[in-house]
Amino acid sequence: MRTFASLGLSFVAIAVLGTASPVLAQLECGGTVGPGGTFALTEDLDCRGAPQCQVPGACSPALTVIGRAVLDLAGHRITCDSGFDDGVLLSGTGATLRDGQVNICGTGVRLTGPGRHVVRNVVSSRSGANGFTIADSDGNRLEGNVADTSSNNGFNLTGASNDNKLVANVATRTQTFHGFNVSGNSDRNELRDNVSVANAGSGFNITEDANQLVGNTALANGNTGFDVGGDRNRLTGNRAASNGVGIDAAGNDNVLEGNTALDNETNDATEGVGCDNRWRRNVIGASDLPDCIR
């Protein structure tokens, strides 16, 4: 483990074997915790101008958490050396990140490897790319997080990331793309009780198959509240208001049940050319809907 005492960055490592006493360690930007153990950040970690970060990429990510390790930010903030560096990378299997902030990074939090990671109560702000990215990683859980003012997407699932759960997260003020983006052969994911508000693109952009969206809210997004281009997705009990379009189901064999789309600017709901989706018991405000939506 690399140390950089002059930064005064203290972590408390709680041993998981036997009855060993907690171990004090100090980490520099670009450091690693794990595999295994529980670590609590005791001060903010500011990588801007840190000597070891002067070589491009040396502090990307600012910190790495290796599987089965827990990193508790304890309300503190990690700031990247540049808007191109990753903030926190979760690798291996079963890493946990919780309770703090990651600011001015390329991607604030990136989940990779086999997966089953947990990210809870983390705010990622002013990311140069995405607030949170799950990249070719399965079975992860993101809960109670906020992506604020990301350049691309707030929450981005890509590279065949399957069977992930995103619960009660918020994406707001993306500058280019979407609040929640599910793409790149990412199937069978569950998005539940999330909020996507005031993003440049769509609130929820679903280009892949067999995903579930339950109880989510899309408000005042520039394009579409729920843009469903994939097939065999299921949308239940979601709400879209004040977007360009409320719900656009351009894919096939999707089920849309019990959703509400009202007061969107262009259309409250639109359907693909073949009318190949199933609409059931939705509340949709526009009067000029295709018969298959009615």
pLDDT digits (tens, 9 = 90+) for 3-18: 222 233 444 443 333 3
- Using CA atoms, how far residue 81 sits from 25, 42, 98, 144, 257, in Å, is 22, 20, 21, 26, 46
- Say how many domains are in the chain: 1
24 within a domain of the structure (yes/no):
no
Domain that holds residue 260: 38-284
10 within a domain of the structure (yes/no):
no
31 within a domain of the structure (yes/no):
no
9 within a domain of the structure (yes/no):
no
142 within a domain of the structure (yes/no):
yes
Q: What is the pLDDT of residues 188-242, one digit of tens each?
A: 999 999 999 999 999 999 999 999 999 999 999 999 999 999 999 999 999 999 9
Between 2 and 5, name the one with better pLDDT.
Answer: 2
pTM of the model: 0.91
Distance CA 33, CA 8 (A): 16
Q: For residue 279, how many other CB atoms are within 10 A of its CB? A: 22
214 within a domain of the structure (yes/no):
yes
> Which residue shows structure tokens 């990307």?
60
- The amino acid that residue 192 corresponds to is R
165 within a domain of the structure (yes/no):
yes
Q: What is the pLDDT of residues 234-257, one digit of tens each?
A: 999 999 999 999 999 999 999 999
Residue 54 sits in a domain whose CATH number is 2.160.20.10
290 within a domain of the structure (yes/no):
no
